[in-house]
Amino acid sequence: MYSAEISRANPTLFVFLLDQSASMQDQIGSGEGQRKCDVVADALNRLLSELAIKCAKEEGVRDYFYVSVFGYGGSGARPALSGPLAGRDLVPLSEIAASPARLEPRTKKVPDGAGGLVEQEVKFPTWVDPVASGGTPMCNALTKAQSVASRWLNDHPACFPPVVLNLTDGEANDGDPAIPAEAVRQLASADGPVLLFNLHVSSDKSPPIIFPDSDVALPNQYARQLFNISSTLPDQMRTYAQQQGIAVSDGTRGFVFNADITSIVQFLDIGTRASDLR
């Protein structure tokens, strides 16, 4: 399981679900007082950016992945990409890379080659903007993800299983998300069941937690619920998590609490990994 080659001939699907409910106005418990809606929008923009960079080759981005982005708030879930891709619910990665809504200049610190750091200007692409309004129809969003993944699997029965990533504060108000989450996880390609991961942003001031194997240390009911609906990490992903210094076990799940989840992009193999000799 989870060993199918990801290629242009056999691409896979990423579905991102972005909580855009009113509670996302609140500040995250850790960090520098950012709003939760800013944190998840930034996380999603960085995830899309990392995916595009990972698949960039000479003169283009290869379509190893197709991407769906749904925002949920108010009455239901709807396509959430802005700019030229607005309204699209399934977009090949090359189009994602070619059509951000904006490219904003940002500075980042990079090694100066003499042991120090120097500020360098980089272009940061943006596809989704922070939104916080209305209720939290998470069940509706998960059902939408199930529908998109189901269609995808009909057309790509042998693909590496689609990954559904839900970015939320966990406060669903349209029912018990465990039920549609189970329906998502029951979908499967010949290579294994669909993976459902969750990024929980919370106002709780507990320390960040990344890829736990138990809900014991989680600070509230929403965190525990999101942990329990998350898939366990497949073997290969656990190995990569371990290489990044994360303690893992057979029960490690695709769940993080108030922490960065961008690393999951690096958990997916698209061929020989480029890493420095040590």
Partner 1 sequence: MRVYPSTFHLPKRGNSFQEYEDAFWVGPDDDGNGEIGSLRVAVADGASSSMLAGRWARRLVKIFGSAKGVTRTRADFLAAYREAAYSWDGEVREYKTDREKRGVPIEWYEEPGLAKGAYATILVVEFSDGRPGYPRRWKAAAIGDSCLFQVRGESLCSCFPISDVTGFSYQPPLLPSRVAEDDVVLRHVCLKSGRWEQGDHFYIATDALAAWFLRSWQAEERPWAILRDLDTEAGLDFATWVDQQRDLGEMHDDDTTLVRIDT
Please name which of 265, 173, 262 lies closest in space to residue 222, comparing C-alpha atoms: 173
53 or 179: CB nearest partner 1 = 53
Residues that bind partner 1 (CB under 8 A): 5, 7-10, 49, 52-54, 56-59, 61, 97-98, 103, 122-123, 125, 269-278
Residue 277 Cβ vs partner 1, minimum distance, rounded to whole Å: 5
Please name which of 55, 199, 52, 19 lies closest in space to residue 125, comparing C-alpha atoms: 52
Please name which of 73, 86, 40, 72 lies closest in space to residue 141, comparing C-alpha atoms: 72
Please name which of 153, 235, 142, 237 lies closest in space to residue 187, comparing C-alpha atoms: 153
Residue recorded with tokens 């138990």:
214
120 or 214: CB nearest partner 1 = 120
Residue 114 Cβ vs partner 1, minimum distance, rounded to whole Å: 15
107 or 186: CB nearest partner 1 = 107
How many CA atoms lie less than 13 Å away from 204 in the CB half-sphere? 20
Residue 27 Cβ vs partner 1, minimum distance, rounded to whole Å: 30
Collapsing DSSP states into helix, strand and coil, what is residue 242? helix
Structure tokens at 131: 């939104």
32 or 276: CB nearest partner 1 = 276
117 or 217: CB nearest partner 1 = 117
96 or 142: CB nearest partner 1 = 96
- The b-or-e profile of 149-184 (16+ CB within 10 A means b, else e) is beebbeebeebbbbbbbbbbbbbbebeebeebbebb
